[in-house]
Structure 1
């Protein structure tokens, strides 16, 4: 699975981003460049799905793909996919990745799963008469949440345990078998101790990266299914309470956005916030990427936005330098980034580049 994710990124990036771009995407770096890459190359779903990924691990995987003839790296260190890579990419079962929605949910998935793991351990142990045990989740907020739920439903504990097991069992039956088995072996409660990542790796003869990603995909699956189907999965749905879609715009960018809404110019915002022009411009691009109705008319006309996006579409590139040179320097790099960010929302809404 990990190799497939890396291949997918290399394929979508079309030889226009380095391995660092892949690393920042998978780990969910909140920079305007990474956000623009995620949206511009249609890799939103993989944004932040592997936050614990190490650079060395990614480098090793890239070298393996080079050795296997799936990708090649040019003199400028830009990887691109080969015909063999395309063949392997097309043979991978898409349903094993279909629930990843990283850009929207990557921030809340860890909280959801900590709730699930600890709630199951707590109610199953109590129901089995086990009162002395070490919580598998060492997080105060999660422990407080579980205590609150436990006190609220302690008179219905047997039913809650049964419901939770039934909900998980029902969902796992519809999930890829290996991913379901990995998750089932991870659960702790009622005297059963869940396996560690290393134990799962040995038991299923997988590498650590695939174990972690398969579990992560299962977490997304359980979250999305239970969040939208309250009546079918009441206990798991309870674990999604208060966990809303990620607002990716950073606190600093939000301040700049608020000043813009008040009508301040770029220079005025620079003066008020005492930040460099490039920093404020990054905030503006970030706002344009995240906020669909964000207006950029004070920087570019609709005709400008159309011209820039049309050129990028004709050249089949997101590389600013190529678009800049093709338009003979008519627009600066900030204007190009802003137009491409705005154009991405139009594409999501089903409009063509000519209609942007």
Structure 2
């Protein structure tokens, strides 16, 4: 029920202000301006991109199940907006007590890192355990060129020290897995492939541990995030794992289009000029500016909204305890635009955390 628990958690934070599709896009890690803004607005960075293979059909089935169980309830007068019922809140509290996995995720920070790390680790272990036994004609369980090239490079550097490398990997993994539950550690190890011993696939793991295939995928992602947290926290204790990670990029937080706009803005271009050069609508450039403000704490939002109006917007947010732009707009001066409200919300992360609590 891990997928359902995360959907309930996301719904609690969103409080019926966005459609269920927004949660789907968050879990998939959609690189759109709206989704990027949503994860910051509703403090859902941890869940961004944690289930990139999730289909809309499976997601909708989970949503309908939660509705039928009375854990999600429709917002009055709307079709696609739902809030969490008292039953749903109580169920989530029980899940948090019985399943610490909910707190393992660190989606935004490890976006673009998780899969690459695991692919390298799995293929490296398979390669060295086989070549150590002089078995060179094995079928790689990871069929991705970047991972294969990385492993080939490492293997050529360390092929004379196979026993030492395997010992280092074993010892580091043993210490890492000691920090999670026995079942979680066993599931992680069951996935690994060695000489004459192929790791289990998602469906085999689901059958062994009596989980849905969706929950298994999330469990493995959560476990990996937990291990990555431990590695980053004490790199000196896990030198080989750090070595696997050292050239993996998180892929950047800004969408590609916003990043291009940012470069123009830093060069002194006006909104109008950027739109003209990039052949985009000005509203699209304004969307990019809001996205940029989410990440750059030093972004000069006073260029677009003066301090007096910033205070008025912040006061309105505190009053409404909501991120609904329409509600906020009703409490501020008529000349304050929706863009200015969004910009202040994006830049005021500390305020957002206070409201979400």
Q: Could you say which residue in structure 2 is the equivalent of 1:139? A: 144
Q: Aligned match of 1:153 in 146, 158, 167?
A: 158
SS in structure 1 at match of 2:109? helix
Contact 2:50–2:105 (Cα < 8 Å) also in 1:
yes
SS in structure 2 at match of 1:102? coil
Q: Could you say which residue in structure 2 is the equivalent of 1:317? A: 322
Inter-CA distance 30–305: structure 2 relative to 1 (3 Å threshold): farther
Q: Could you say which residue in structure 2 is the equivalent of 1:12? A: 13
1:221 is the counterpart of 2:226: yes
Of 243-252 and 255-264, deviating more is 243-252
Inter-CA distance 177–72: structure 2 relative to 1 (3 Å threshold): farther
Following superposition of structure 1 onto structure 2, how do residues 1-356 of structure 1 map, counting pairs within 5 Å?
1-74=2-75, 75-76=77-78, 77-91=80-94, 92-93=96-97, 95-327=100-332, 329-344=334-349, 346-347=350-351
Of 228-237 and 18-27, deviating more is 228-237
TM-score by length of 2: 0.93
The alpha-carbon deviation at position 339 of structure 1 amounts to 1.2
Contact 2:26–2:48 (Cα < 8 Å) also in 1:
yes
**Alignment coverage as a number of residue pairs:** 350
The gaps in structure 2 that reach 5 residues or longer are none
TM-score by length of 1: 0.93
Contact 1:201–1:211 (Cα < 8 Å) also in 2:
yes
Aligned equivalents of 2:328 and 2:116: distance in 1?
41
CA displacement, residues 146-171 of structure 1 (integer Å, 9 cap, x when unaligned):
11111111121101112212222222
Aligned equivalents of 1:177 and 1:303: distance in 2?
55
The gaps in structure 1 that reach 5 residues or longer are none
Inter-CA distance 151–228: structure 2 relative to 1 (3 Å threshold): farther
Runs of 4+ more than 4 Å apart? none
Aligned equivalents of 1:303 and 1:152: distance in 2?
61
Determine which structure has greater relative contact order: mean sequence separation of CA pairs < 8 Å that are 6+ residues apart, divided by chain length: 2
Of 19-28 and 285-294, deviating more is 285-294
Aligned equivalents of 2:309 and 2:130: distance in 1?
63
The alpha-carbon deviation at position 244 of structure 1 amounts to 3.9
Aligned equivalents of 2:68 and 2:260: distance in 1?
47
Contact 2:112–2:249 (Cα < 8 Å) also in 1:
no
